[in-house]
């Protein structure tokens, strides 16, 4: 695309692409977020130990020395992708650079990068090549804050004193140029990029968001942009939580009209930290994670579930176990998740709904003793099927209630799903 494209044309392009590309992105529904870097060696969170050091037990100097020991010799990008596929995850988002400024790609504009570690290889290039070969859509997390760059902040001071950046300094325009050079690298060297997942923390307007939206639209028009660089973007990103109601542009009743729906994706950890932490044993159970996926899908969102690989480059067994169990559930019930949108009935205590075309899926959280009753049902049901075993079920409708005769025992220990066809 020519670099001289005008603002009006870019806006029209963004509007026309955004709806179609969000629909494509939303249809994938379940993705793998990956937070990884030298910080995994210390079992601490990415970047925050130098930004807010209390409680992490590592000094800024010790944190900055970690790349000299980072050598993930067991990293196998295809193994990661195949695990994601086995988990039923249909896209990946990888941290190319976190707030500490360390680049997991071979940027030409910094020495603080993966190719200057004992490992020496470009992790992003390896993952992108494997993703292309395995047909796994890949996006990049890129942090606008950068604790390592003297244009972002006065690096002679501790990062804890000025980690939010110093846009009033004369060096700030040089930092924005640096950001542009790196975003260009990510969008021109590693193939198709599904999403640019920015994470600007507070006061995001200081990053000149129009400049970066324009840059992304010029280089890869189909790449989606999240809402963390000072503009609304293509979707919003609640973190470590699921909205209590369907996100909408202006508020209103549930379910909203399609034009009022606000595209969204939640990102969550399996335990309590984003990066690898051998001491964090607060693992969510398989059942919790499946119910979270159902809850997200029932409100029209995407579920971006994080893993923090080990310093060697492997995925810890507790994560693998849960991911594979989610994948087993999706093999049976995936049609009720992928390609769906929020369901027509919201707010039921025992059931969540998703929808695809004229089919409504009932995700049963509490298996009934007797018939399953769905109040507020308006459509004419023509067929009901239990997805486990594809068993047809008898049903009746009366006075706004749908009654379905279900087996005495739930076929799934976590969430059982029924498909109801309508006309």
Of 336, 351, 378, which one is at a domain's C-terminal end? 336
Note whether residue 2 is domain-resident: no
The answer to whether the pTM exceeds 0.85 is yes
The answer to whether residues 74 and 120 touch, using CB atoms and an 8 Å cutoff, is no
How high is the pLDDT of residue 11? 45
How high is the pLDDT of residue 250? 84
Q: Are residues 225 and 290 in the same domain?
A: yes
Of 307, 336, 365, which one is at a domain's C-terminal end? 336
- Structural domain of residue 413, as residue ranges? 343-422
What does the DSSP 8-state code read for residue 266? E
Q: Are residues 304 and 350 in the same domain?
A: no
Q: Are residues 123 and 267 in the same domain?
A: yes
How high is the pLDDT of residue 272? 97
Of 320, 336, 352, which one is at a domain's C-terminal end? 336
Q: Are residues 64 and 192 in the same domain?
A: yes
How high is the pLDDT of residue 12? 46
Q: Are residues 63 and 119 in the same domain?
A: yes
How high is the pLDDT of residue 17? 53
Residue 398 belongs to domain with CATH number? 2.60.40.1180
CA distance linking residue 39 with residue 275, whole number of Å: 7
CA distance linking residue 224 with residue 219, whole number of Å: 12
Q: Are residues 28 and 133 in the same domain?
A: yes
Note whether residue 1 is domain-resident: no
Residue 169 belongs to domain with CATH number? 3.20.20.80
Q: Are residues 309 and 353 in the same domain?
A: no
How high is the pLDDT of residue 3? 37
Q: Which residues, at least 6 apart from 32, have a Cβ–Cβ distance to it below 8 Å? A: 80, 84, 87, 89, 91, 92, 93, 304, 305, 306, 307
Name the burial class of residue 183, with classes exposed (0-12), middle (13-18) and buried (19+) by CB atoms within 10 angstroms of its CB. Answer: buried
Q: Are residues 124 and 204 in the same domain?
A: yes
Q: Are residues 361 and 329 in the same domain?
A: no
Number of domains comprising the chain: 2
Note whether residue 168 is domain-resident: yes
Note whether residue 39 is domain-resident: yes
Q: Are residues 189 and 128 in the same domain?
A: yes
The list of the chain residues with pLDDT below 50 reads: 1-16
Q: Are residues 166 and 313 in the same domain?
A: yes
Q: Are residues 392 and 314 in the same domain?
A: no
How high is the pLDDT of residue 18? 65
Tokens encoding 323: 């991911």
CA distance linking residue 147 with residue 153, whole number of Å: 7
Q: Which residues, at least 6 apart from 56, have a Cβ–Cβ distance to it below 8 Å? A: 44, 45, 48, 49
How high is the pLDDT of residue 361? 98
Note whether residue 366 is domain-resident: yes
Helix (H) or strand (E) run with residue 50 in it? helix 48-51
């Amino acid at each position: 695309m020519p670099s001289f494209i005008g603002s009006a044309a870019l806006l029209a392009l963004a509007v026309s692409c955004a709806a179609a590309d969000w629909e494509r992105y939303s249809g994938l529904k379940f993705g793998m977020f990956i937070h990884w870097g030298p910080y995994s060696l210390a079992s601490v969170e990415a970047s925050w130990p130098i930004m807010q050091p209390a409680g992490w037990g590592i000094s800024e100097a010790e944190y900055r020395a970690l790349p000299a020991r980072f050598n993930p010799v067991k990293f196998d990008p295809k193994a990661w992708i195949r695990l994601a596929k086995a988990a039923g995850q249909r896209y990946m988002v990888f941290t190319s650079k976190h707030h500490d400024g360390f680049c997991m790609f071979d940027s030409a504009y910094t020495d603080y990068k993966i190719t200057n570690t004992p490992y020496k290889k470009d992790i992003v290039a390896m993952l992108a090549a494997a993703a292309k070969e395995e047909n796994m859509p890949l996006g990049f997390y890129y942090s606008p804050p950068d604790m390592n760059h003297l244009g972002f902040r006065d690096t002679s001071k501790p990062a804890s004193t000025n980690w939010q950046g110093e846009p009033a300094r004369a060096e700030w325009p040089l930092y924005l140029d640096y950001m542009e050079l790196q975003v260009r690298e990510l969008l021109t060297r590693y193939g198709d990029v599904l999403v640019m997942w920015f994470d600007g923390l507070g006061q995001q307007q200081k990053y000149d968001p129009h400049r970066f939206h324009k840059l992304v639209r010029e280089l890869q028009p189909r790449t989606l942009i999240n809402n963390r660089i000072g503009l609304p973007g293509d979707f919003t990103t609640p973190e470590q939580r699921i909205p209590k109601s369907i996100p909408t542009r202006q508020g209103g009743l549930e379910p909203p009209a399609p034009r009022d729906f606000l595209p969204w994706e939640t990102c969550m950890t399996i335990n309590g930290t984003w990066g690898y932490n051998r001491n964090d044993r607060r693992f969510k159970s398989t059942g919790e994670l499946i119910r979270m996926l159902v809850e997200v899908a029932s409100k029209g969102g995407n579920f971006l579930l994080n893993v923090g690989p080990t310093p060697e480059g492997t995925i810890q067994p507790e994560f693998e176990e849960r991911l594979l169990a989610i994948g087993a559930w999706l093999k049976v019930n995936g049609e009720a998740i992928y390609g769906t949108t929020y369901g027509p009935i919201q707010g039921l205590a025992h059931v969540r709904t998703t929808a695809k075309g004229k089919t409504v899926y009932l995700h049963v959280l509490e298996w009934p003793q007797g018939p399953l009753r769905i109040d507020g049902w308006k459509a004419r049901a023509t067929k009901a099927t239990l997805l486990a075993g594809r068993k047809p079920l008898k049903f009746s409708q009366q006075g706004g209630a749908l009654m379905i005769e279900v087996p005495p025992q739930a076929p799934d220990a976590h969430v059982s799903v029924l498909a109801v066809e309508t006309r």
